[in-house]
Amino acid sequence: MNIVIRKCLLAAVLTVLAAFLTTGCATEHRFIKKTAFKDTNQIVIEFAGPVDEAWAKNPSHYSVYEKPDPDIKLKIQTITLSPDRKTVALTFADPLNQNQPHVLTATGITSEGKSLGTAILSVKKVYLGYLFSILIGAMIINNFVFTKYLGLCVFFGTSQKKSTAVGMGITFTIVIVVSAMMAWFLYQFVLRPYRLNFLQIVVFIGLVSLSVQAVDTILRKVNPMLFKAFGVYLVLVIANCIIIAVPLILADNEYNALESLMLALGAGLGFLIALFLMSSVRERLELARVPPTYRGLPIAFVVAGLFALAFLGFSGMSIF
């Protein structure tokens, strides 16, 4: 059982790593290493080599605008160059709206007297960070169970024992990632282009059943031991509204593939965390002298309410 869990976790971690690695590869200009926001009103450009001070200190060589507003150039107040002449910090008159990607154009970059041409760069919040914030957001801050109140039937049904809860959580995470990715592809490449949005409910529920069936079959063939451990939960997964809610949210928010993956993973892991916490608490409640009218589900609801009160502490949190 333990090995099974460890294997699953390992697989999940590897998937996440792979996803992160592939995103980090995109480069924009060979001479510019990195651009990033700093403070509320700064953009920092890191060059691969030293740039000429005369070029760097001239504000007219830069133009910066928010992506949807190419006509409105942002006013650069001061420019500072680091002693090694590799880093330029542009300070703007007004605070930047860092939620928007900014487009930075650096014309005629000169380094040691040599002109290196013009670079157009997009400055945005670290994408990895953004992905990470989607993951953490779905997992903890906007936990689907405690702050979005979804998936409750299964949540209360399978949180009585810790082992059941963990099994359910893992199974659920796998299925939701599989079905959400399938749903995303179908939505992006079939439903949306052909304006069949109204079919999304039917399509998504069909996909969920399909992926449950697929996981069931594959598991049964590939790893019967794993199937024995988790097979019983597969039937329950389909009655969980999170699994249908995630594709719907993906469709509403127009996430890209990676973001969708993060959201689905976050939703699944968040459900796992919620189940784990709830089950460990309920195992203790089993022993408590709960008033008879509250025994069983009612007290579980009250405890979930207390959880939700505690999770209010996360309200308004934005990590990146």
204-233 binders of another protein (CB under 8 A):
205-206, 209
82-141 binders of another protein (CB under 8 A):
97, 99, 118, 120
Binding pattern for the stretch 166-195 against another protein, x by CB under 8 A and - elsewhere: -----------------------------x
3-32 binders of another protein (CB under 8 A):
none
Under rule CB under 8 A, residue 309 binds another protein = yes
Q: List the beta bridge partners of residue 73.
A: 65
**Secondary structure element (H or E) that encloses residue 171, with its range:** helix 162-186
Residue placing its CB nearer to another protein in the complex, 68 or 113? 68
Give the torsion through C-alpha atoms of 136, 138, 143, 144, to 10 deg: -170
Under rule CB under 8 A, residue 245 binds another protein = yes
| Distance, CA of 292 to CA of 276 (rounded, Å) | 25
For 95, the token pair is: 């605070």
Q: How far is the CB of 147 from another protein (least distance, A)?
A: 6
How far is residue 294 from each of residues 82, 191, 269, measured CA to CA in Å? Answer: 66, 46, 29
Q: Where are the alpha helices (DSSP H) in 67-161?
A: 127-136, 152-157
Q: How far is the CB of 223 from another protein (least distance, A)?
A: 25
Q: How far is the CB of 33 from another protein (least distance, A)?
A: 19
Q: Of how many residues is the chain composed?
A: 320
Q: How far is the CB of 300 from another protein (least distance, A)?
A: 7
Under rule CB under 8 A, residue 37 binds another protein = no
Number of residues that bind another protein (CB under 8 A): 78
DSSP tag of 36: E
| Distance, CA of 198 to CA of 255 (rounded, Å) | 19
Residue placing its CB nearer to another protein in the complex, 50 or 206? 206
142-171 binders of another protein (CB under 8 A):
146-153, 156, 162
